[in-house]
Amino acid sequence: MSTTYTLDTGTSRANPTPAPLRRLTIPGLRARKVDGVTAEPIVSLTAYTARQAQLLDAHCDLLLVGDSLGQVIYGLPSSVPVTLDMMAAHGAAVVRGSYHSVVIIDMPFGSYEGSPEQAFESASRLLKETGAAGVKLEGGIAMAETIAFLSARGIPVCAHIGLTPQAVNALGGYGPRGRDEAEAAKIMADAHAVAAAGCFAMVIEGVVEPLAAKITAAVPCPTIGIGASAACDGQVLVTDDLLGMFERTPRFVKRYADVASTISQAAADYAAEVRARSFPTADQIYGAKK
Ligand code: KIV
């Protein structure tokens, strides 16, 4: 049975029918990996709006309010200009639109790298203002101290290693990582460092298949792959990519729909009706007053 929503205009909450699903928890997701084996893979997608969250929620375990919203929602050239204000606003919308999935929010570039204290200030603001359960931040060994600092203070952290898009200016692009031995060894060391620091999970992005599989076998917490390996303990994708909202998507993305064409066609049909003056009038819609 599909879920329908009634908007409570007082609180902006969409109340689901049938009754709310119970929200999953971060310890519950973390506990899915036992002795290196995750029997039930973690299903994760990005979400940026309340309506998107409503539609994805029942199908996912983890909704990520990704800083990819910089490109997807705001048309920015990268995630570098994304701000804490943006993440807080979209994070709150996604929490309001979901009842079942764990919601975590990306820490934007510049909001956490300065010091563990800076990271705590930013992360605690995100949790207070949104109701999300945790944060994600990019970086390996260099971020281990910060991950330990936040985790010890009640802020669950999902790490993000391999291709780290906030570092696009240092990396020089979004190409796959871990192709040569030295880089693969560095990424493996990053994985061990963030796991030892206490992250509850780690995103492995754009890493060659055998390395992602090796990391998954080596670390105790779940790995969530994106353009990495089917062997990861879960997968995440940018929702707008799998929906087919863009002409160009990363090569590893399978499109499950062609929503861009549907929107375009609907707008074209509407425009044609307006121009032909065949747009339905209020009388046609509501019935003429007698
Ligand atoms: O910002 C984002 O959407 C992400 C995912 C692609 C992992 O970090």
- List, for residues 220-244, the tens digit of each pLDDT value: 999 999 999 999 999 999 999 999 9
Cβ neighbours of residue 74 closer than 8 Å, sequence gap 6 or more:
82, 86
Nearest CA to ligand 1 atom 3: 66
Would you call 120 exposed, middle or buried from its count of C-beta atoms within 10 A (0-12, 13-18, 19+)?
Answer: middle
Name the more confident of 33 and 290.
33
For residue 240, report the distance from its CA to the centre of ligand 1, in Å: 11
Give 35-82 pLDDT, tens digit per residue. Answer: 999 999 999 999 999 999 999 999 999 999 999 999 999 999 999 999
Supply the pLDDT for residue 20: 57
Q: In angstroms, rounded to a whole number, what is the distance separating the alpha carbons of residues 73 and 87?
A: 12
For the chain, give the percent of residues with pLDDT over 90.
Answer: 83
Q: What are phi and psi of 89, to 5 degrees?
A: -65, -45
Pocket of ligand 1 (CB under 6 A): 46, 64, 66-68, 106, 160, 203, 205, 226, 236, 238
Supply the pLDDT for residue 236: 98
What is the 8-class DSSP label of residue 165?
A: G
| Residue 279 Rama label (left phi>0; alpha psi -120 to 50; beta) | beta
113 is catalytic: no
Give the model's confidence band at 1: pLDDT under 50 very low, under 70 low, under 90 confident, else very high.
low
Nearest CA to ligand 1 atom 4: 66
Q: Which amino acid is at 186?
A: K
Supply the pLDDT for residue 284: 82
H or E element that contains 168: helix 168-171
H or E element that contains 273: helix 259-275
Supply the pLDDT for residue 3: 66
Which one from 117, 129, 145, 205 is the annotated catalytic residue?
205
Give the model's confidence band at 98: pLDDT under 50 very low, under 70 low, under 90 confident, else very high.
very high
Ligand 1 pocket mutation pick from 86, 238, 245 by most atoms within 8 angstroms of CB: 238
